[in-house]
Structure 1
């Protein structure tokens, strides 16, 4: 072998290994805005930058949020709500308008680094009974044409975040898409592959544990288990690996086993249910981050981790629907006011709190200790129909504070939401303002923030969803 040829081979090998070395998983976050007390978008962007979080996934294209992200360099996945899929699938001009207003407008010098557009959010959930199924692929097609018209098709990729219930199996190697999704998944995956897009999947070991009393608790985490799943030569010690490889098997069955994968949502809630607490959330997310940063991969794809992993979520969202469970409002690694709930290192040091958050004065509304509270039920119901009372439920951090504590918590939630208007603590004389923090242990009585907008009525779908909750004999409707 000549020295020249040897040198060429050495250079080629160096380039190959250099390429492999830089392909590492990135850790991003989901930024949802269905909140009662909202930090300003600028404060949240500063929080992302201070924590060196370089990727963020949105559920819509809020112009205030996108304006705040301009010039930040943060890689963004913009979302299109499921409710928009029908009109986008039926009208190319609507798709053109959406891309123009929500992508092209921000893809300018010093603008927003939009990498993905998420077309719908878990549109194939079994609970939707197929209502969005026929719209997804036509919407993808129209939006792709719109991106091409704007000369953005090479820079912005369309994706379809799917819940893990899109596929099923008793063992990972037998994974397959649900039979009713077989045709549409073949269309979508083929489309994604031909356009250089990854498959985005949301994986929630917590929900597997929450919904199945027989699910081994230690299998939901990354510390090993006494109940491993044996699948031929492969042994699975955690739900994440098993779920990921079930998807790989499903993709392989339709000819796309090498499809790049992004984890669109994964996390652990800190309140609102048994098993949803600070220590469990920290344990899960710490294990997840260590796993992602190790680039270990899974038994069916060793050494090849997902392209990116987006933690769910950045902040608590106190106005989300509680139909899936009261934990829905407590997924944040930060509380609503941008304060880290527990120590966590995302690879860039421990989480740092949001800076320059402006709070209302340190005062709270509580039950008046001198009054008979026997007629409080309607006031309690009113307060919790606006404020978030989910922590009072069984398994919640405020479940054990007693009936008077429950009343005070509800009154204070309403009072803070109303910007501490003195009249909103009256409750026919049953409420009283105090300057002494009534928080007890892990049960935190919040003080509202003033640097953002407050809105306790908007859910993802724009509809009010009610569910009946009982606290110690007191009834309330949470919207």
Structure 2
């Protein structure tokens, strides 16, 4: 069984403990999705993966490309799908004709058999480490894909978006959140387009990375049960970095003029190997806290209610770059 599915084997019990009724105690009851990556040397048969997803109540999947092999297994499954367009295709998608071809091949060709909900245009294209490589092509690609979806007659139900790393916004406190100064213009343009077309903002939030990147980061603040808190303006208290990070984004969206833009957590998770803090025990602690939080539908201080979340990731991927750290493959 995939590492994440082993950790989620007790999902129903966790949700019951959080007060969710037996009739609804499944991961789909709390909008739980999962990222399905493919950078591994020994891939499971996609039909078996789909069987495991459904057996664990996971009815939403995010893919990083549109490979027909896994997509084919998702046909007629009832699983909601977010298809990805890799960063190295963004320049091509800046041509409307290419965007039109992509939609024809990967969206409309499957008809109603594929429960396509979102197209992820790029993946964290504004990372600081990319040095602006995709700054000129991301928004044109986004707009072309949405236009192609609209022209194909499916734009009302399929929305184009751009999964972004949490480094696109900054703020010492959640209430002070704003988009990074070097990308403020392009981010404001993009979120207003998303708002006008009914698309969500997709963000990847990793409390593990906060801990990994700074020896001074308070360990307990990375978890939902740590008992550590920080104070924001007006006496607001945050007990974990996930909520604080999420609300920093909400503040940034407000400053950009789209305070009500829907937010989806495109990736959140905890590695099980490759670092002193990457192990199954801490991963279980993190997932336990996240799932219980989701089951309560409490949201955050600035955005209360149900959260839409995709866990990362379904499998260990032994072909991934370890430049970010050895944990990246786990």
Q: Residue 107 of structure 1: SS of its match in structure 2?
A: helix
Q: Which residue of 1 aligns with 2:111?
A: 107
**Could you tell me how far 1:52 is from its partner in structure 2?**
1.4
Which aligned pairs between 1:223-234 and structure 2 lie closer than 5 A?
A: 223-226=225-228, 228-232=229-233, 233-234=235-236
Distance (whole Å) between structure 2 residues aligned to residue 225 and residue 169 of structure 1: 22
Q: What corresponds to 1:321 in structure 2?
A: 321
Give 3-state SS (helix, strand or coil) of 1:317's partner.
coil
CA apart distance, 1:146:
1.1
Q: What is the distance in 2 between the residues matched to 1:153 and 1:237?
A: 39
Separation in structure 1 between the aligned mates of residue 133 and residue 104 of structure 2, nearest angstrom: 27
Q: TM-score, normalised by structure 2?
A: 0.89
C-alpha distance in structure 2 between counterparts of 1:248 and 1:147, whole Å:
27
Is the contact made by 1:167 and 1:177 (CA closer than 8 Å) also made in structure 2?
yes
Contact residue 144 and residue 153 of structure 1 kept, 8 A = yes
Q: In structure 2, what is the equivalent of residue 246 of structure 1?
A: 248
2:135 matched to 1:133? yes
Aligned 8 A contact 1:107 1:114 in 2: no
How far is the alpha carbon of 1:293 from its aligned partner?
Answer: 1.3
In the other structure, the counterpart of 2:272 is 270
Name the counterpart of 1:181: 183
Shift of 1:107: 2.6
Aligned residues: 301
Partner in structure 1 of residue 99 of structure 2: 95
Higher-RCO chain (CA-CA 8 Å, sequence separation at least 6): 2
Alpha-carbon displacement from aligned partner over 1:345-369 (angstroms, at most 9, x marks no partner):
xxxxxxxxxxxxxxxxxxxxxxxxx
Alpha-carbon displacement from aligned partner over 1:305-333 (angstroms, at most 9, x marks no partner): 33x10000111111111100110111xxx
Hey, what's the Cα distance between the residues in 2 that align with 1:148 and 1:252?
27
Unaligned runs of 5+ in 1: 1-23, 331-479
How does the TM-score come out when normalised to structure 1?
0.62
Q: Which residue of 1 aligns with 2:146?
A: 144
In the TM superposition, residue 125 of structure 1 has moved relative to its aligned partner by 0.5
Q: Which residue of 2 aligns with 1:40?
A: 45
Shift of 1:44: 0.6
Partner of 1:57: 62
- Contact 1:298–1:305 under 8 Å retained in 2: no
User: What is the CA distance between 1:304 and its match in structure 2?
Assistant: 2.2
> What CA distance in whole angstroms lies between the structure 2 residues aligned with 1:173 and 1:148?
36
Q: Secondary structure at the match of 2:116?
A: strand
Q: How far apart, CA to CA, are the structure 2 residues paired with 1:206 and 1:107? A: 39
Q: Deviations over 1:231-288 (max 9, x none)?
A: 1221111000100000011111111111111000000000011100000000001110
2:34 counterpart residue number = 29
Give the secondary-structure state (helix, strand or coil) at the position aligned to 2:137: helix
Displaced runs of 4 or more, over 2 A: 303-306
- Matched residues in 2 for 1:52 and 1:86: separation? 37
Cα RMSD after superposing both structures:
1.0
Higher helix share: 2
**Structure 2, unpaired ranges of 5+:** 1-28
Query: Structure 1 CA distance, aligned partners of 2:55 and 2:211?
Result: 33
Q: Secondary structure at the match of 2:231?
A: strand
Question: For residues 112-148 of structure 1, what are the alpha-carbon distances to aligned partners after superposition, in whole Å with 9 as ceiling and x for unaligned?
Answer: 1000000000011010011001111111121122112
